[in-house]
């Protein structure tokens, strides 16, 4: 498929989505924009989140993308309708793909975990009620999960204990699936799996949105051969962001440019 896929996130967590996409669509070109100068979005108000998301999308449109993937759950939850309204290209958020993946697995008792913003938005809860009104939904904000992931403590006794505190009340309802409603959370899978146990599926936004992109591209994962070009734009590039990006990508990010929105 010709053309560049634009991926937008508030920070570098959305690189988990870029990585998942590249595994399935390696010949594709990608432009990733992380709004690191203004992250996190998760603790901020809906007005501010929408304003930031629109600015970021305009930057990607100027780079002639053929599809916009909103990898940030908070931005997907609050700004998707506003983004669709101004977008000259198709827009995919992470909320609906995550919900569809949970339902496809047959879960009838589902929990959503995410930032305070994402949970407060009710976007996941609404999507489940719309797509499968018979499914029961609970939700919990987990504000410490992003800092724990960024500290590199995805497999750590402290993260296990924090996850116990956040998830225990949900798990006691007899859950079948937890939607990881934040791009950082897959980094915590070792701890989350220990706490949630083997009977609860953890639904990863990155995998779910990749399936949606492939569906939108007519189901083909082949097409052009070779390796596509990946460009990363960040609004701030501190050592910390570079380190986290390296941890997610498995190598130093190439073609990294600091831009001003």
The answer to whether residue 73 forms part of the interface with a copy of itself (CB under 8 A) is no
Rounded to the nearest whole angstrom, what is the least distance from the CB of residue 204 to a copy of itself in the complex? 23
Which of the ranges 14-22, 65-73, 139-147, 169-177 carries the binding residues for a copy of itself, by CB under 8 A? Answer: 139-147
The answer to whether residue 239 forms part of the interface with a copy of itself (CB under 8 A) is yes
Among 60, 162, 178, 209, binds a copy of itself (CB under 8 A): 162
3-state SS string over 99-121? Answer: HHHHHHCCCCEEEEEECHHHHHH
Characterize the bridge pairing of strands 230-234 and 256-258: parallel
Among 64, 240, 259, 261, binds a copy of itself (CB under 8 A): 240
Rounded to the nearest whole angstrom, what is the least distance from the CB of residue 238 to a copy of itself in the complex? 4
Residues recorded for the chain: 261
- In sequence order, which residues have a C-beta less than 8 Å from that of residue 148 and are 6 or more positions away? 154, 156, 158, 159, 162, 188
Rounded to the nearest whole angstrom, what is the least distance from the CB of residue 125 to a copy of itself in the complex? 17
Rounded Cα–Cα distance for residues 93 and 135 (Å): 21
Residue 72 is a catalytic residue: yes
Rounded Cα–Cα distance for residues 14 and 23 (Å): 15
Q: Are 104 and 79 in contact (CB under 8 A)?
A: no
Residues recognised as catalytic? 72, 182
Interacting residues toward a copy of itself by CB under 8 A: 36-38, 43-45, 48, 116-117, 120, 143-144, 146-148, 150-151, 157-158, 161-162, 165, 235-241
């Amino acid at each position: 498929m010709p053309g560049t896929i634009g991926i937008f996130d508030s920070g570098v967590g959305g690189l988990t989505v870029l990585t998942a996409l590249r595994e399935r669509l390696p010949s594709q070109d990608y432009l990733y924009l992380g709004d690191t100068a203004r992250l996190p979005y998760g603790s901020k108000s809906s007005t501010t989140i929408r304003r930031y998301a629109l600015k970021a999308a305009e930057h990607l449109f100027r780079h002639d993308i053929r599809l916009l993937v909103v990898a940030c759950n908070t931005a997907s939850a609050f700004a998707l309708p506003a983004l669709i309204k101004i977008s000259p290209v198709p827009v995919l958020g992470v909320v609906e793909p995550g919900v569809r993946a949970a339902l496809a697995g047959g879960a009838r008792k589902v929990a959503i975990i995410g930032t305070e913003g994402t949970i407060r938005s009710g976007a996941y809860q609404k999507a489940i009620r719309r797509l499968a009104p018979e499914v029961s939904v609970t939700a919990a904000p987990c504000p410490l999960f992003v800092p724990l992931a960024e500290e590199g403590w995805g497999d750590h006794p402290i993260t296990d204990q924090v996850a116990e505190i956040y998830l225990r009340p949900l798990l006691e309802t007899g859950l079948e699936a937890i939607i990881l409603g934040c791009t950082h959370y897959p980094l915590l899978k070792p701890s989350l799996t220990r706490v949630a146990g083997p009977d609860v599926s953890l639904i990863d936004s990155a995998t779910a949105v990749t399936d949606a992109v492939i569906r939108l591209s007519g189901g083909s994962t082949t097409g052009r051969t070779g390796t596509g070009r990946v460009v990363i734009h960040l609004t701030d590039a501190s050592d910390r962001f570079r380190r986290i990006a390296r941890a997610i990508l498995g190598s130093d990010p190439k073609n990294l440019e600091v831009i001003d929105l």
